[in-house]
Amino acid sequence: MTTAAATHTHRDDVGSRMGMWLFLFTELILFGGLFIVYAVYRFKFPEQFQLAARELDTLVGTVNTIILLTSSLTVAMSITAIQQGKKHLSMMLIGITIIFALAFLVNKYFEWSHKISIGIYPQSPELLNKPPGEILYFGLYYVMTGLHALHVIIGMVVLAFSMVFIATGKINQQSYVKLEAGGLYWHLVDIIWIFLFPLFYLIS
Amino acid sequence: MTTVARTPEPDYLHAQTNRKGIGAWIFSTDHKRIGILYLVSMLVFFIAAVTFGVLMRLEMLTPGKTIMQPQTYNTFFTLHGIMMIFLFIIPGLPAVFGNFLLPLMIGAKDVFFPRLNLFSWWLFITGGLLALVSLFLPGGPADTGWTFYVPYSIRTTTNVIPALMAAFILGFSSILTGLNFITTIHRMRAPGMDWFKMPLFIWSLYSTAWIQILATPIIGITLLLVTIERLFGVGIFDPTLGGDPVLYQHLFWIYSHPAVYIVILPGLGVVSEILPVFARRTIFGYKVIAYSSLSIAFIGSLVWAHHMFTVGMSNTGMFIFSLLTFLVSIPSAIKVFNWIATLYKGSIKIEVPFLFVLAFIFQFSIGGLTGLMLGVLSVNIHVQDTYFVVGHFHYVMFGGTGFGLFAAMHYWFPKIFGRMYKNVPAFVGWLLMTIGLNLLYFPFLIMGYMGMPRRYYDYLPQFQTYHVISTVGSWVLVLGIIIIFVNLILSLKKGAKAPMNPWGGKTLEWTVASPPPVENFHEIPIVEKGPYDYSEYEIKPEIAK
Q: What percent of chain B has pLDDT over 90?
A: 83
Query: Which residue of chain B has the CA closest to A120?
Result: B234
- What distance in Å separates the CA atoms of residue B294 and residue B94, rounded to the nearest whole number? 16
Closest to B30 (Cα-Cα) out of B47, B16, B49, B48: B16
Domain count, chain B: 1
> What is the per-residue pLDDT across B486-544, written as a single tens digit (0 to 9) for each?
999 999 999 999 999 999 999 999 999 989 999 899 888 999 888 888 887 766 656 65
CA separation, residue A36 to residues B254, B303, B318, B486 (Å): 12, 17, 20, 49
Residues 28-57 of B with CB under 8 A from A: 28-31, 33
Chain A residue numbers with beta carbons less than 8 Å from the beta carbon of B15 are 4
Mean pLDDT confidence for B306-325: 92
Chain B residue numbers with beta carbons less than 8 Å from the beta carbon of A123 are 232-233
pLDDT confidence of residue A9: 53
Residues 14-33 of A with CB under 8 A from B: 14-15, 18-19, 22-23, 25-27, 29-33
Across the interface, whether the CB atoms of B242 and A18 are under 8 A apart is answered no
Mean pLDDT confidence for A102-126: 93
Residue B98: give its domain's CATH number.
1.20.210.10
- What distance in Å separates the CA atoms of residue B291 and residue B285, rounded to the nearest whole number? 10
Per-domain residue ranges of chain A: 57-119+142-201
pLDDT level of residue B16 (50, 70, 90 thresholds): confident
Angle at A143 between CA A139 and CA A148, to 5 degrees: 150
Residues 131-190 of A with CB under 8 A from B: 131-133, 135-136, 139-140, 142-143, 147
Residues 6+ apart with CB under 8 A from A88: none
Across the interface, whether the CB atoms of A123 and B232 are under 8 A apart is answered yes
ipTM of the complex, rounded to two decimals:
0.91
**Is the residue at B17 inside a domain?**
no
Chain A residue numbers with beta carbons less than 8 Å from the beta carbon of B29 are 3-5, 8
Q: Is B113 on the interface with A (CB under 8 A)?
A: yes
Sign of CA dihedral B222, B226, B228, B232: positive
The number of angstroms, rounded, from the C-alpha of A114 to the middle of its chain's C-alpha atoms is: 21
Chain A residue numbers with beta carbons less than 8 Å from the beta carbon of B223 are none
**Is the residue at B13 inside a domain?**
no
- What distance in Å separates the CA atoms of residue B212 and residue B207, rounded to the nearest whole number? 9
Three-class SS of residue B148? Answer: coil
- Does the pLDDT at position B2 exceed 60? no
pLDDT confidence of residue B535: 81
How far does B234 lie from chain A, in Å, by closest CA? 5
**Is the residue at B247 inside a domain?**
yes
> What is the per-residue pLDDT across A19-57, written as a single tens digit (0 to 9) for each?
999 999 999 999 999 999 999 999 999 999 999 999 899
How far does B154 lie from chain A, in Å, by closest CA? 14
**Looking at the partner chain, which of A22, A139, A147 has a beta carbon nearest the beta carbon of B235?**
A139
pLDDT confidence of residue A8: 44
Closest to B267 (Cα-Cα) out of B394, B387, B93, B144: B93
Across the interface, whether the CB atoms of A18 and B110 are under 8 A apart is answered no
CATH code for the structural domain at A57-119+142-201: 1.20.120.80
pLDDT level of residue A5 (50, 70, 90 thresholds): very low
How far does B253 lie from chain A, in Å, by closest CA? 12
> What is the per-residue pLDDT across B85-118, written as a single tens digit (0 to 9) for each?
999 999 889 999 999 999 999 999 999 999 999 9
Contact B49, B105 (CB under 8 A): no
DSSP, res B420: P
> What is the per-residue pLDDT across B426-479, written as a single tens digit (0 to 9) for each?
999 999 999 999 999 999 999 999 999 999 999 999 999 999 999 999 999 999
How far does A3 lie from chain B, in Å, by closest CA? 5
Contact B142, B212 (CB under 8 A): no
**Looking at the partner chain, which of B114, B228, B233 has a beta carbon nearest the beta carbon of A8?**
B114
- Does the pLDDT at position A65 exceed 60? yes
Across the interface, whether the CB atoms of B175 and A32 are under 8 A apart is answered no
Average pLDDT of chain B to the nearest whole number: 92
**Is the residue at B57 inside a domain?**
yes
Three-class SS of residue B396? Answer: helix
**Is the residue at B1 inside a domain?**
no
Across the interface, whether the CB atoms of B180 and A45 are under 8 A apart is answered no
pLDDT confidence of residue B543: 60
**Looking at the partner chain, which of B175, B187, B232 has a beta carbon nearest the beta carbon of A15?**
B187
Neighbours of B209 (CB within 10 A): 29
pLDDT level of residue A3 (50, 70, 90 thresholds): very low
**Is the residue at B453 inside a domain?**
yes
Q: Provide the domain limits for residue B484.
A: 23-544
- Does the pLDDT at position B395 exceed 60? yes
- What distance in Å separates the CA atoms of residue A21 and residue A26, rounded to the nearest whole number? 9
Across the interface, whether the CB atoms of A136 and B235 are under 8 A apart is answered yes
Q: What are the φ and ψ backbone dihedral angles of B386, each rounded to 5 degrees?
A: -115, 180
How many Cβ contacts (< 8 angstroms) between chains A and B? 128
- Which string of b and e fits B274-306 if b means at least 16 CB within 10 Å? bbbbbbbbbbbbbebbbebbbbbbbbbbbbbbb
How far does B480 lie from chain A, in Å, by closest CA? 37
Residues 6+ apart with CB under 8 A from B1: B508, B511, B525, B526, B527, B528
Chain B residue numbers with beta carbons less than 8 Å from the beta carbon of A44 are 244
